[in-house]
Amino acid sequence: MLCAAGTLLLSAGMLITSCSEPPPPALVSAPSGLVLRSEPTTTSSKLEVLPFGTAVEVIQMDGPRETIGGKTAPWYKIKHGEQEGWVFSAFLATDPVAIVEVRSQKECRDAGGQYVNEQCLQPWMVTWLRGSSGFSQDGCASFQRLNMDGTVWYQNGYCPPADSPYGTGAVTMDGNGFVQAGTWAVDGNRIAVTITTSYVSDSCDGSILAGPESEYFIEKLDAAEVPEFIRRNYGTIVPRDSNGRILLPEGPTC
């Protein structure tokens, strides 16, 4: 049983020292939900599927250990509402850090967003990042791209990074000639971009999207706020500096 004489180690840094203390909190951490079964085995009857983020009460932790989906852990007996049953504990968050993470993910999901790299992306951010998600600073040659992993990449067709002596910052290139130029993070209703790398060549400056700007913000604006040329070429998701100035050309430049 959960409570016994003496102390009982629940997880790293968590001890129960008295049977009068409440059981540890637990939240379902499996993205697709967790099956509650009648016995501690995958072949027993399925009582219900507990959705991601569901709070349950752990009442027994000494079930048999098993390996499922590459994870090895014991079965826990839990209570959800009036229903009692067994769940595979590898898909249950019980320590404080894991619980906060699951709660954050659930709040993000419930708001219609997507939780990526410990950040809650709004729906427009997810769509934009998974699309072309780039801007051309001069309307033709240079191109900046944001990846879902939080990195920012830059490519210039006139000044190929592979042929250029680089200036500041540590340079990482992918197979398509893109230079890792910086990072991005969610900042409320916008994406904050920080540029850490630049380069120069004999033929031209390899400036990053915002030129001298080392930080700028990607925002979704109302159509009326975006000049027609920019709206036609980029839509209403645009990069702006801290003063709200759109960092894109308002007409053809090449």
Q: pLDDT tens, position by position, for the chain (254 residues)? A: 444 434 444 444 444 444 545 566 899 999 999 999 999 999 999 999 999 999 999 999 999 999 998 999 999 999 999 999 999 999 999 999 999 999 999 998 888 888 888 889 999 998 888 886 777 655 444 567 888 889 888 765 544 444 444 444 445 555 565 777 789 999 989 999 988 776 554 444 444 443 445 788 999 999 999 999 989 988 999 989 899 999 888 877 65
Model pTM score = 0.64
Q: Which amino acid, 229?
A: F
Q: Give the pLDDT confidence score for residue 175 in this predicted structure.
A: 56
CA distance 118 to 116: 5
Give the CATH H-level superfamily of domain 8-95.
SH3 Domains (2.30.30.40)
Determine whether 147 is exposed, middle or buried from the number of CB atoms within 10 Å of its CB (0-12, 13-18, 19+).
middle
Tell me how far CA of residue 249 lies from CA of 123, 145, 190, 221, in angstroms.
27, 17, 21, 16
Query: Are the C-beta atoms of residues 199 and 142 closer than 8 Å to each other?
Result: no
Query: Are the C-beta atoms of residues 253 and 230 closer than 8 Å to each other?
Result: no
The phi and psi torsions of 89 (rounded to 5 degrees) equal -70, -15
Closest CA to 75 of 38, 29, 129, 121: 38
Q: Give the pLDDT confidence score for residue 78 in this predicted structure.
A: 96
Q: Give the pLDDT confidence score for residue 191 in this predicted structure.
A: 94
Look at the block and give the residue holding tokens 């400056």. Answer: 205
Q: Could you tell me the end-to-end alpha-carbon distance of the chain, in angstroms, rounded to an integer? A: 74
CATH 2.30.30.40 residue ranges for the chain: 8-95
CA distance 171 to 167: 9
Q: Give the pLDDT confidence score for residue 250 in this predicted structure.
A: 81
